[in-house]
Amino acid sequence: MASIEFGVALTSVKGVVEFARLAERLGYDFLASGEHVMFHGPVPNSLIALSVAAGATEKIKLMSSIVLLPLYNPVMLAKQAAVLDVASGGRYHMGVGIGGEFPKEFEACGVPVKQRGSRSNEALEVIGKLWTEKNVSYQGRYTRFSGVTLDPAPTQKPHPPIWVAGRKEPAMRRAARYGDGWLPYMYTPEMLRESLAKINAFGREAGRDMSAFRSGLFIFSAVYPDRKEAEEVAARSLGKNYAQDFSKIAGRYVLYGTPEDCRKRLREYIDAGARSVMFTWACRHDDIERNMETIAKEVIPAFR
């Protein structure tokens, strides 16, 4: 079995340096950051948060989880990501998603929500070329340019890994065509297994060698001594984050309960194919650091 990697998501725009150093000290392989322009509360920009983290750490890999791809000019995103990869010593991984659950940020950025999939596919094509070629020209539906060379090019070769996030089949097809990894969220082990089978089939149809493709998971977590309390806390936390009722479904998608409960459930995901697990938080804010330490010391060692 391939080695299993574990990451932890930033929780705030503030305190990035301290959180990043703690994650590295606890032995996590990745530090992740999500982003929105606007959401139901304070939220970072992944490239800026990870740039701060890069300067505060030495080894931990840095993952956007995720870049809201259709809201960016792809040439500028390719440039920013290349610079972050160079500045961090080749530690950047670009997770991408198409968003859409908060339409106002699309409106504010002048991007029609219905174009987010097609814009993202074109952007991935553009970024791939700019990261690996010189004197690039491109004539697409949304992007047109000629004679562009990014200097510096990314440190990682052929380029920083691209992880495609999502839940549905179009995202799976995007992962198979453009991605180096799959990073689903709000998934059960059964959903993960089925999605990986589909992605591998789509990749083979497209003539890709999928042997090095990475299978990931982005999972909300809440570790408490009492399993019932953990489930209730998770439902409240996600309900606040997403402004909807999670009381009936949190148990399906969240890693929750005692460390033993979490080890058992995580084993199901790993048996389903997960090899890079990113933990984010569905616990009380004041309990995040304790949850982070508990997972590092009492959950992850079972899979090393």
> Considering only 33-47, 68-82, 180-194, 237-251, which range has the smallest mean pLDDT?
237-251
Q: Which residue has the tokens 């999500």?
A: 34
In order of their start, the domains of the chain are 1-160 (3.20.20.30), 182-304 (3.20.20.30)
pLDDT at 241 over 80: no
pLDDT at 263 over 80: yes
pLDDT at residue 247, rounded to an integer: 78
Give me the DSSP letters along 38-51: S-SS----HHHHHH
Residue 304 pLDDT grade (very low, low, confident, very high; cuts 50, 70, 90)? confident
Gap between the Cα atoms of 160 and 177, Å rounded: 16
Omega within 30 of 0 (cis) for the link into 158: yes
pLDDT at residue 128, rounded to an integer: 98
Q: What is the mean pLDDT of residues 282-301?
A: 97
Is the separation of the CB atoms in 206 and 176 below 8 Å? yes
> Considering only 180-194, 236-250, 274-288, which range has the smallest mean pLDDT?
236-250
pLDDT at residue 244, rounded to an integer: 79
The Cβ of residue 192 has, within 10 Å, a number of other Cβ atoms equal to 23
Instruction: Provide the mean pLDDT of the chain.
Output: 96
pLDDT at residue 40, rounded to an integer: 82
pLDDT at residue 188, rounded to an integer: 97
pLDDT (tens digit, 9 = 90+) per residue, 114-162? 999 999 999 999 999 999 999 999 999 999 999 999 999 999 999 999 9
Residue 298 pLDDT grade (very low, low, confident, very high; cuts 50, 70, 90)? very high
Angle at 37 between CA 235 and CA 284, to 5 degrees: 25
CA 226, 232, 236, 238: dihedral to nearest 10 degrees? Answer: 80
pLDDT at 1 over 70: no
> Considering only 77-91, 171-185, 238-252, which range has the smallest mean pLDDT?
238-252
Gap between the Cα atoms of 304 and 245, Å rounded: 36
The Cβ of residue 51 has, within 10 Å, a number of other Cβ atoms equal to 19
Name the helix (H) or strand (E) containing 170: helix 169-178
Q: Give phi and psi for 119, each to the nearest 5.
A: -65, -40
For residue 294, give every residue at least 6 positions away whose Cβ sits within 8 Å of its Cβ, in sequence order, or none.
Answer: 223, 259
Q: What is the mean pLDDT of residues 102-110?
A: 95
- Token duo for residue 116: 């987010």
DSSP secondary-structure letter at 32? E
pLDDT at 16 over 80: yes
